[in-house]
Structure 1
């Protein structure tokens, strides 16, 4: 068991390295190619930022598959299954459409058609859903057209869910990385815990997807130097959907029944993996909720479901007063809580401690959600291990005083100031009220009528 783990780690590290190293040259290429659209009304960034980050992510995908093909324990995935080739074919098609969209802004309906074609390409090559486990009923075998239709629907829904949530720096890549990590742990458990080799392709896809996101995140964290664009968001959405479809279409519930003590128990044991097929509620729960709310909101207003707006969940977090980084961390928290909560429940479904733990963490998440002004500070012994913004210093205390002033000047709440602007604190009036305001930057401030 140790050897496959090392090979998965090697594949993941190669994917991370290739994606990370390619992102820099891709950024220069995007700038030279003019893939830097103007700031739109719904955007939260303030400077034109190059797109086409999906080029580097696709390079990482190809590198990960190439390395895995030459490893002894992972080579069997390519020999015994056509799924890696099916995934690569669909990924290449959707990536190409995304690159064109990042440069030329393709119509939404054309992109939707391309997503369906990419899903159809994977279906033709065998990456499809064959059966569904229904809790309390058992396994339901699907006809060919039912499986194909459900596969295409899942791919399109997942792609658009990830694409819709890609609105803040590092948000989509981080959330998909969290989801892929939870999925990798579960798929690996099915393969080695139950000895079912058909779960190997899904495990490999999840490991590569983690590497793609981790390699791109350093360039995409706030303030982002490059965006993944549709070429990246649609790509990782397709790979995430392909992982879920792979384990659904190839893992035989009868094999699970031998280890779970019956078909019905096997259905319950497999449920956390198959939930993404029943309107994703765990792995892409947050992007899916954002997608559904966006469609309802736009349809209610008489707009197209594909019309862009500023009503997404991350936009609402910013409106509540959260900073850019805090909004991303809150979304990370909820994604991890749902994904890993479902993973833990799938392992020990009879344990009430898991339910209580998830409930407690949910309460903590609600408190953080409703306290946008609260800035956590690390203890003195841990300050060297956290980013500077979480270290309590005189400068951070001074920034707390300056925050209302910078907000009045139009700065983003919680954002770092572009320059250190001194603050004057004086006493005015009979009651001794304190007045706080920015000191003038002009040398002739006394000529302008200063009280001094």
Structure 2
């Protein structure tokens, strides 16, 4: 009976998302709604116009599932996250059609992060990998908490947005992240069934999206979808008893890729948030990898890291993150050397 409280939201969200996604694809395919006025994604490799409204199906199926789930009491904090999700949907759809400047997108992201912080979604403490716990108390703790929460949301949101350049990658990574958070939520020391329900609803919505988004994609997540997946992963990490380290490790590949590209852009004097072809998936494409091969590579690596993250302590997570960081830096230089030799 207890398992049903998790299985039901998963199935409801999955089939709702399938219905919404199928409807969007069918409507566009049959010309009932023209996307001729839309735009090509500057980050995605598609050279033809394809519906970017996958985020609409993901977010609506997720919210509807939670709204009608009799086992879930929607707290004020969760209600705030749902409101923020609707705002992400609205702004994301606007960007998918007319394209907002990176400054306006960043401004909205900061406002969203501040909103969830001031409704009470904060870091209560941070575990020291070497032992001990740091609690955020006093005025200094409040300011530090604010800075870290905003930075955390911006980092994860943009990392997931930027990795959405190859069919299936962002959805698959997010699904693994949601499943990991679910396993964390049902652990005795965490014991947060509401968090498990939310994670399973998200898993259902995103898995349905992956079916439509796997190469060759019939629909894209768009700004609303990719930003939402990053935003909600950041939120779940905060809800899950500050399981920042676990989530950061699971998302190590897109996060390290994002940080690497940011430093590259800074070094070359480019704008940090402007789209380019410096990300790992683009470099793998230059090596001749297919979209499916790249997608499966990301899925396999993320799943492997997630299984490790669930079975090691704080120090182990930190050590593994730096190992992955080192391997990725070496990988970047090898790819750069190989692509340069083929030019």
Deviation at 1:35, TM superposition (A): 5.7
Query: Given the alignment, which residue of 316, 325, 337 partners 2:292?
Result: 325
Change (3 A) 1:286 1:295: same
Per-residue deviation, residues 196-247 of structure 1 (Å, max 9, x unmatched): 55x3343233222211210111111111111110010011111111100112
Distance in 2, matches of 1:331 and 1:298, equals 23
Distance in 1, matches of 2:267 and 2:171, equals 30
Distance in 2, matches of 1:205 and 1:177, equals 13
Per-residue deviation, residues 73-116 of structure 1 (Å, max 9, x unmatched): xx3x43xx422212102211122111110011001111111111
State the SS of the aligned residue for 2:34: helix
Distance in 2, matches of 1:204 and 1:149, equals 29
Query: Given the alignment, which residue of 237, 250, 267 partners 2:230?
Result: 237
> CA RMSD for the aligned pairs?
2.6
* Structure 1 residue ranges without an equivalent (≥5): 250-272, 350-354, 371-452
Change (3 A) 1:10 1:342: same
Per-residue deviation, residues 170-211 of structure 1 (Å, max 9, x unmatched): 11001111121122112211xxx23x55x3343233222211
Deviation at 1:325, TM superposition (A): 0.6
> Which of the pair has more CA radius of gyration?
1
Per-residue deviation, residues 248-291 of structure 1 (Å, max 9, x unmatched): 36xxxxxxxxxxxxxxxxxxxxxxx3315xxx641211110111
CA contact 1:170–1:217 (8 Å) conserved in 2: yes
The corresponding residue for 1:167 is 165
Q: How many residues align?
A: 314
Deviation at 1:33, TM superposition (A): 4.9
Query: Given the alignment, which residue of 121, 124, 133 partners 2:115?
Result: 121
State the SS of the aligned residue for 2:130: coil
| TM-score after normalising by structure 1 | 0.65
Distance in 2, matches of 1:45 and 1:63, equals 31
Distance in 2, matches of 1:67 and 1:25, equals 22
Distance in 2, matches of 1:35 and 1:328, equals 29
Query: Given the alignment, which residue of 305, 311, 314 partners 2:272?
Result: 305
Instruction: Kindly report structure 1 stretches of 4+ aligned residues shifted beyond 6 Å.
Output: none
* Structure 2 residue ranges without an equivalent (≥5): 336-343
CA contact 2:40–2:46 (8 Å) conserved in 1: no
| TM-score after normalising by structure 2 | 0.84
Deviation at 1:18, TM superposition (A): 0.8
1:37 aligns with 2:31: no
Query: Given the alignment, which residue of 186, 189, 199 partners 1:188?
Result: 186
